[in-house]
Chains A and B, each alone.
Chain A
Amino acid sequence: MLEVGSIDVSYGDLQALWGISFNVQEREIVVLIGPNGAGKTTILRTLSGLLRPTAGRIVFLNRPLDKTSPYKIVELGLCHVPEGRALFPGMSVLENLELGAYVREARKVREESFSFVFEILPILNHRSNQLAGTLSGGEQQMLAIGRGLMSKPKLLLLDEPSWGLSPLLSKTIFEVIGQVNHSGVTILLVEQNVQMALGLGNRAYVIENGRMVRAGDTKDLLHDEQIKDAYLGSG
């Protein structure tokens, strides 16, 4: 579904990614792990079009993405739920969700999408008229995911969905992600909570200092000594 071929990405003169290559198959949950500042968010931002690679190719559903406008990328079915949620704080939960379904195809099936989102994230229904900025951290994360779902994505990019959440809430979020994947959405997940992410995903890639250092099935990585030392510490 997604094929990333040796991309280099820079912030101005500062290079952040070197020769990153990976792929995502349909219906998978692929996880990107690595230390802070390794470049995981940079990868997601390049996929969604907020950044452009200076070298390499990105192909999504057989279309090259590297020169496509961000809004067209969403229309193609790739939806990025950024880190820190990036909601519209002065707008209501309902309005945030409506905006999630902005692209024409998603707008047509808006009602269905609302039903689906409210089914797996019922709290959003209860709070539908509340301003997004007044929600708790966990609720905001659910809204961010719900909003992403409204665009009827084929591939959902999730950037640190458990950030700032309690272990219990994180568990709930991961369950929701599992349900979403089950309903047919492919997921590319960036996570700090390595234990949970590897538990949920099918395959994982490890990014360090802007380079891809490991790749493999999550089952294997969970038992790998190096990974355990570096990321699975005492957690």
Chain B
Amino acid sequence: MTAEILIQSLVFGIFVGALYGLAAAGLSLVFGVMKMLNVAHGELLMLGGYATFYLFSLCDLDPFLSLVIAGPILFLIGILLFKGLFSFLARLDEENKIKNSLLVGFGISLVLHNLAILLFTADERSVTPTYAGAGFELFAIQFPYIRVGGLLLSILLMYSMHLFLNKTYFGKAIRATTENWQAATLMGINIEKTYLISFALGTALAGIAGTIVSVGYAIHPAMGMEWTIKALIVIVLAGLGNIGGAFIAGVFLGAIESVSALFVGAYMEVVGLVIFLMVLELRPQGLFGR
């Protein structure tokens, strides 16, 4: 066990953690605004991955460039899903809202999962651009271009989200809706519109996370639930309603998993979960919760 191996692990952990964080941020946005958990979030991530894969294999489009298409596609899918299904759910009372949104979410998850098997086959896919294996070295630590690109993209996206939510009027309206939707209505904020845009943005974030996953890792139709659960753990770890915190918590979880893999191998996720439980025990509102 050398310092290099440890740091290399940490670095890789941060790379994958950024993806956890990105996926979690999208889920956190939707949950914070609509107070509804979209359990099909992981499937939306998968769709983003497949969009990138097909844009790459059919049109030879570089995955990082295909984001420009994949992002908006997922945003549109989000709008359709919201208008078609979730907008009705958002207006229900608390109990029915929770029950029905879980039901609908699981339904969508099943449909998308099986549709993916039908359309894309159950094989694992990966996007391998020409620079796939290349990278640079710093202090004997490897930094693959793809992973670094993914990390930078994630950070850029989160920063854009931060600017949007804190410096634009509509972004503030979204935060206000998260805090108190009735008061937000009384300010003249169109709640239906904030729900719609938040849901679509959350979906787009998931899709972009999926894009990065398809490049650095592999995608397959069953990956949805795995990612939904990971995102869920991260948002609870961060504290519900904190989108920036969700990203940081994601990076944190990724780092812990990766480093502990050195010591406990395949049980790395267990370590992550144990830490998660410990944090909840000591600080139930989450790392950044109020």
Q: Is B188 in contact with A71, judged by CB distance below 8 angstroms?
A: yes
Count of chain B residues with a beta carbon within 8 Å of a chain A beta carbon: 18
Interface residues in B183-239 (C-beta closer than 8 Å to A) = 183-191
Cβ contacts under 8 Å, A90 to chain B: 175, 179, 290
| Assembled-state Cα–Cα distance A103/B182 (Å) | 16
Task: Tell yes or no: A3 within 8 A of B by CB.
Answer: no
Q: Is the interface of B mostly helix, strand, loop or mixed?
A: helix
Known A-B contacts A98-B172, A99-B172, A107-B169; A87 and B186 likewise in contact (beta carbons under 8 Å): no
Cβ contacts under 8 Å, B169 to chain A: 98, 102, 107
A-B interface pairs (CB < 8 A), number: 66
Task: Tell yes or no: A93 within 8 A of B by CB.
Answer: no
Q: Mask for A12-44, Cβ within 8 A of B = 1, else 0?
A: 000000000000000000000000000000000
Known A-B contacts A50-B182, A82-B182, A87-B180; A95 and B172 likewise in contact (beta carbons under 8 Å): yes
Count of chain A residues with a beta carbon within 8 Å of a chain B beta carbon: 28
Q: Is A102 in contact with B182, judged by CB distance below 8 angstroms?
A: no
| Assembled-state Cα–Cα distance A120/B225 (Å) | 55
Task: Tell yes or no: B173 within 8 A of A by CB.
Answer: yes
Known A-B contacts A91-B172, A91-B179; A48 and B186 likewise in contact (beta carbons under 8 Å): yes
| Assembled-state Cα–Cα distance A71/B189 (Å) | 6
Q: Is B172 in contact with A79, judged by CB distance below 8 angstroms?
A: no
A71 → B minimal CB distance (Å): 5
A43 → B minimal CB distance (Å): 15
Cβ contacts under 8 Å, A71 to chain B: 185, 188-191
Task: Tell yes or no: A230 within 8 A of B by CB.
Answer: no
Cβ contacts under 8 Å, B185 to chain A: 49-50, 70-71
Task: Tell yes or no: B176 within 8 A of A by CB.
Answer: yes
Q: Is A80 in contact with B186, judged by CB distance below 8 angstroms?
A: yes
Q: Lowest 10 CB-CB distances: which A-B pairs, in order?
A: A74-B188, A103-B188, A86-B183, A88-B179, A70-B185, A102-B187, A71-B190, A71-B188, A102-B188, A88-B176
18 interchain pairs, CB-CB under 8 A: A48-B186, A50-B182, A71-B188, A71-B190, A71-B191, A74-B187, A82-B183, A86-B182, A88-B175, A88-B176, A98-B172, A99-B173, A100-B187, A102-B187, A102-B188, A106-B188, A147-B187, A151-B187
User: Assuming A88-B175, A98-B169, what are 7 further A-B pairs, CB within 8 angstroms?
Assistant: A48-B186, A71-B185, A79-B186, A91-B179, A99-B172, A99-B187, A107-B169
Interface residues in chain A, defined as those with a beta carbon under 8 Å from any beta carbon in chain B: 48-50, 69-71, 74-75, 79-82, 86-91, 95, 98-100, 102-103, 106-107, 147, 151
Interface residues in chain B, defined as those with a beta carbon under 8 Å from any beta carbon in chain A: 169, 172-173, 175-176, 179-180, 182-191, 290
